[in-house]
């Protein structure tokens, strides 16, 4: 298989970023009520789009406070090197996130990666008394997520016909994992892939992903199953 036959779709919160951005903002600036929305989402009573839309409406922060908070968000230290290697191999990397586009662009800009394509929910200044406005330009009919990652997979496949690697960590990646060709999985996504019989490789971060990428693309991934980082993630 040619290296050019792959596209990478990568989650942001908890995968590229060390912490979940919206959770950090809500912990500091969320007005009462956001926890109830979170509980309803975790219980399956509402979708992530309804949950996050309600939570964004409860954020009581200025633009300056938002930017100051985002300036402290760390990303996986190996992600820039991973992107550089993917570009050397002519493999596109796209961010697909159920998070906030403004936050993602702001954080990536600090690392010279703001040119990566991003599909995410849109955050903009609101109309008083609501400070912030939330919309979901990548939603899909019948999907409760703000960003329908399944639809992102299908659009990517239709546009270039390439196989798709998903890199993710949690519930927002579950559906998309069922539609891609291979998964590099962290945290809860590991359990989902294991239970659903989805082809995946457990990773602890982008250091593992960087080491495994060439092997995935040239079809020799099985030879890398003894990497210490992979053994640790399986323990």
Quick: pLDDT tens for 147-200.
999 999 999 999 888 999 999 999 999 999 999 999 999 999 999 999 999 999
- Looking at CATH, the fold of the domain delimited by 3-234 is given as Rossmann fold (3.40.50)
pLDDT (mean) for 55-66: 95
| pLDDT higher than threshold 80 for residue 229 | no
The predicted structure's pLDDT at residue 208? 96
Q: 16-34, pLDDT tens digit by residue?
A: 999 999 999 999 999 999 9
Given a cut of 90, whether residue 120 has pLDDT beyond it is yes
pLDDT of residue 228: 38
Beta-carbon-side half-sphere exposure of residue 90 (alpha carbons within 13 Å): 5
Which pLDDT belongs to residue 227? 40
Question: pTM score, two decimals?
Answer: 0.91
pLDDT at 160: 85
Structure tokens at 207: 């250091």
CB contact set of 168 (below 8 Å; sequence gap of 6+): 10, 11, 15, 176, 177, 183, 184, 185, 186, 189
Sign of CA dihedral 148, 151, 156, 162: positive
The CA angle 122-126-127, to the nearest 5 degrees, is 150
What average pLDDT is seen over the chain? 91
Query: Which residue from 36, 37, 102 is spatially nearest to 69, judged by alpha carbons?
Result: 102
Token readout for 105 is: 């662009």
Query: Cα dihedral angle (42, 135, 56, 150), rounded to 10 degrees?
Result: 30
**How long a stretch of residues is the chain?**
235
pLDDT cut 90: percent of the chain above it: 86
């Amino acid at each position: 298989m040619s290296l050019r036959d792959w596209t990478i779709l990568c989650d942001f919160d908890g995968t590229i970023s060390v912490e979940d951005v919206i959770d950090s903002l809500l912990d500091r600036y969320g007005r009462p009520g956001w926890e109830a929305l979170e509980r309803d989402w975790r219980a399956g009573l509402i979708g992530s789009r309804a949950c996050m839309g309600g939570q964004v409406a409860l954020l009581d922060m200025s633009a300056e406070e938002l930017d100051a908070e985002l300036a402290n968000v760390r990303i996986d230290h190996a992600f820039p090197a991973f992107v550089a290697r993917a570009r050397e191999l002519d493999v596109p990397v796209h961010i697909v996130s159920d998070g906030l586009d403004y936050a993602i662009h702001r954080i990536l800009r600090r690392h010279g990666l703001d040119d990566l394509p991003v599909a995410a929910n849109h955050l903009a200044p609101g109309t008083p008394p609501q400070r912030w406005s939330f919309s979901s330009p990548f939603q899909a009919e019948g999907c409760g997520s703000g960003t329908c990652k399944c639809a992102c997979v299908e659009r990517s496949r239709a546009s270039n016909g390439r196989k798709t690697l998903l890199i993710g960590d949690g519930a927002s990646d579950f559906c998309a994992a069922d539609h891609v060709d291979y998964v590099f999985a962290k945290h809860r996504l590991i359990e989902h892939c294991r239970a659903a019989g989805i082809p995946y490789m457990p990773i602890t971060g982008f250091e593992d992903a960087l080491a495994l990428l060439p092997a995935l693309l040239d079809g020799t991934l099985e030879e890398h199953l003894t990497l210490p980082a992979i053994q640790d993630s399986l323990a």
